[in-house]
Amino acid sequence: MMKTVVFVHSAGAQGTGEGSSGLMAHISRNLGADFQVRCPAMPDPTSPSCSAWQARLAQELERIGEGTEVLLVGHSLGGSVILKHIAEGECRSRIAGVFLIAAPYWGADEEWQSEDYQLAEDFTDCLPPIPHIYLYHSREDSIVSFAHMQAYHRKLPHAQLRPLPGEEHYFSSGLAQLVDDMKRMR
């Protein structure tokens, strides 16, 4: 069965060689014919608005249709937007898996404060059934600290943790473990 992957990129410039472009290309190149990869351009990525990004994600999911099994992949800010969107009950697609890569947990520390992006305290009670949740984060990430992955894991203890060595945030050369995890979901 064909799986549809929706990849939501990070904030910031998204041209060739910028932002999530290398990670998106790696995923598209390496998943194979059993996956349809969709990478919608989010509005105004250099000055993002949570509501505008959620609206764009909703449009993409609506185009896919309610009966299709979807894998949601979010890089950095994109991961925050995905989780907020589905926790607020806005997603009618069948979600087979959620993959968060270096995603900030808004409110986890003083540097990452924004009511627009912050999840409700009880957000896990509002999530639809999601059989697979994966969290990827570099232990020495200097943009979004590893503590954010730990904050997500406290709320999502059933999530599969993928702590990564080094300080990578953008994964410009790709993330082989992500692709492998997605391929195993057959």
pLDDT tens, position by position, 11-36:
999 999 999 999 999 999 999 999 99
User: Closest Cα to residue 23, out of 32, 14, 33?
Assistant: 14
In this predicted structure, the answer to whether residue 90 has a pLDDT above a threshold of 80 is no
At 186, the pLDDT band (50, 70, 90 cuts) reads low
- At 59-85, the pLDDT tens digits run 999 999 777 889 999 999 999 999 999
Go through 42-51 and write b for each residue having 16 or more CB atoms within 10 A of its CB, e for each that does not: beebeebebe
The better pLDDT of the pair 69, 100 is held by 100
CA distance 151 to 90: 23
In this predicted structure, the answer to whether residue 92 has a pLDDT above a threshold of 80 is no
pLDDT of residue 139: 98
Q: What is the mean pLDDT of residues 33-43?
A: 95
User: Closest Cα to residue 26, out of 96, 73, 82?
Assistant: 73
pLDDT of residue 1: 73
Domains of the chain: 11-33+44-65+80-183 (3.40.50.1820)
In this predicted structure, the answer to whether residue 134 has a pLDDT above a threshold of 70 is yes
Q: What is the mean pLDDT of residues 2-11?
A: 96
**Residue 100 phi, psi (nearest 5):** -105, 125
The reported pTM is 0.96
Q: What is the mean pLDDT of residues 45-71?
A: 92
pLDDT of residue 38: 97
